[in-house]
Structure 1
Amino acid sequence: MTVTKSGFILSYLKYNDVSAIVKIFERENGIESYFIKNIYLRQNKKKSYLSPLMGIDFTASESQKGLPQITKISVSDSTKELEYSIINNAQMMLAAEFIAKVIPYGEPNGIVYDLLSEYCKNLSQNNALAFYLYKIIKYLGYGFDFSDAVYFDTKNGIFTNESSTFTLGEELSQIIRSIDDFSFLNMGLKNTHRKKIIDILMDYCGHHIADFTSPKSLEILRQIL
């Protein structure tokens, strides 16, 4: 039996030099694993498809032993027009690793899938990564509590008038206040602020999402931004 599906590649592992095991986030089935035979053969031009958050359309055949096997693969419209650069690749790597950490294996999540699709369409926007990471965090039930108070508490996700170890300064607190608004996508930010906000989101997840640890790709992104 064969089925045709679409999804985003989250990670991949080389197997026996020429093949790979791929973890894919699908709209209908959530995160699933597949086997791709001979993808690393020299003459196989599709090995470049194995990239974090690459959107793919694929055909898979069920296997009585082991993982289902991908027999046909192509780049989907969701990422076909993306400009691949060092910065974009690093951001997509972080987003893919983040999804793998917060979405349970095999659990459908159409809303997060749609947010990822939107993120890919808006990747060229200055602050797309932080904006959509927050949107996913909010959907998972851990959105910030916005108020008119001055300082943002990075541990509890609230605004307060009392400064503490976990509160930001007024300037960065004001930036965080805008993170849930579409105007944040193109807000002019210093790279230091952009990196700090992503760090804040990852630390916040560590306080609120069970077993969450910062993605390994976070350090790569810090060095590139």
Structure 2
Amino acid sequence: MLHLNGFLLSYLKYGDNDCVLHCFTGEKGYQSLFVKGVYGKKSKRKAYLHPLAELSFTMYKNPVAGSMLPVSRLEPVQGSKVPHNIKANSVIFFVADFLNQVLRNEGVNPGIYAETAHFLEELNGNNFRAHLIFMVRFLEISGVQPLVGPGAFLDPESGSFTENKVHDLFDAELSAIWKEILSGTAPYTVAIAPQQRKAFMDSILVYNHYHFSDFRIPASLEIVQQLFQTDGH
């Protein structure tokens, strides 16, 4: 019997009552799991299906690459909490969409798992810029972060700071925020003004295009961008 804990990234209804879950687990990395009866009339488990919910899975065999094993037991991890207000939901759907794309070939990675948990803690504390900082931290953990240097402008293609501006989006102001997040000891406290957040998100997506092959913009970006115009935190 195998026990896994994982963050739910996406799910798809299969037939009338069953479901396929895509998760990033602490023990096995990215996994696709099959759960029977989730949508049955008497099932309470469909309430657990929320992006980035941390769930505990029990199955009778180890998963094999390319296969989906049926989950015999599904329940929330004790003490885990996903915020459910409208702003937090927008952020969570976006981050789950992003992770579901970039982690599909990822094996065990304790750093990413722990950072995802930390991000959720920040969001539970109403830090509505946490997703921006999380995405930069993801670059660090993945080993493709910019190399901090004395230059004032970030070159997204080379991943270095230069003396001259090489990309319209990466001006001195946004480049300074990148540098502060990358070099600071408490990145989630870095201030990003509401009016800067759309441009900063765009800069992260541009950087990802250069450093992740076949990167696509998450479909939920338009929803989360609404935060930049209304949020003052």
Query: Normalized against structure 2, the TM-score is what?
Result: 0.84
Structure 1 ranges of 4+ moved more than 4 A:
none
1:106, CA displacement in angstroms?
6.1
The change in CA–CA distance for 1:211 and 1:34 in structure 2 (over 3 A counts) is same
Q: Tell me the residue number matched to 1:94.
A: 94
Q: CA deviation at 1:210?
A: 1.5
Offset at residue 19 of structure 1 (A): 1.4
Indicate whether 1:83 and 2:83 are aligned.
yes
For residue 195 of structure 2, give the secondary structure of its aligned residue in structure 1.
helix
Structure 1: give runs of 5+ residues left out of the alignment.
none
Q: How far is the alpha carbon of 1:61 from its aligned partner? A: 3.1
Deviation at 1:56, TM superposition (A): 0.6
* 2:75 maps to 1:67: no
Match of 1:203 in 2: 206
1:93-141 deviations in Å (ceiling 9; x for gaps):
2222222222243622222112112222222334221222111111212
Aligned-partner Cα distance in 1 for 2:98–2:173:
27
Deviation digits for residues 158-213 of structure 1, max 9, x if unmatched? 22221233452332222222112244423343223123222211221111111221
CA 1:133–1:106 in structure 2 vs 1: closer, same or farther (change >3 Å)? closer
Task: Using the TM superposition, name which of 2-11 and 106-115 deviates more.
Answer: 106-115
Task: Name the residue aligned to 2:159.
Answer: 157
| Residue aligning to 1:25 | 24
| Distance change >3 Å, CA 79–CA 182, structure 1 → 2 | farther
Secondary structure, counterpart of 1:44 in structure 2: coil
2:148 equivalent in structure 1: 146
Question: Which amino acid in 2 is paired with 1:88?
Answer: A
Aligned to 2:218: 215
Partner of 1:127: 129
- Root-mean-square deviation (CA, aligned residues, Å) is 2.3
Distance in 2, Cα, partners of 1:163 & 1:102:
28
- 1:106 to 1:147, Cα distance in 2 relative to 1, 3 A: closer
Amino acid at match of 1:75: P
Alpha carbons of structure 1 residues 105 and 158: separation in structure 2 relative to 1, 3 Å: closer
Instruction: Please give the TM-score of this superposition, normalised by the length of structure 1.
Output: 0.87
**1:224 and 1:19 mapped to 2: Cα distance?**
34
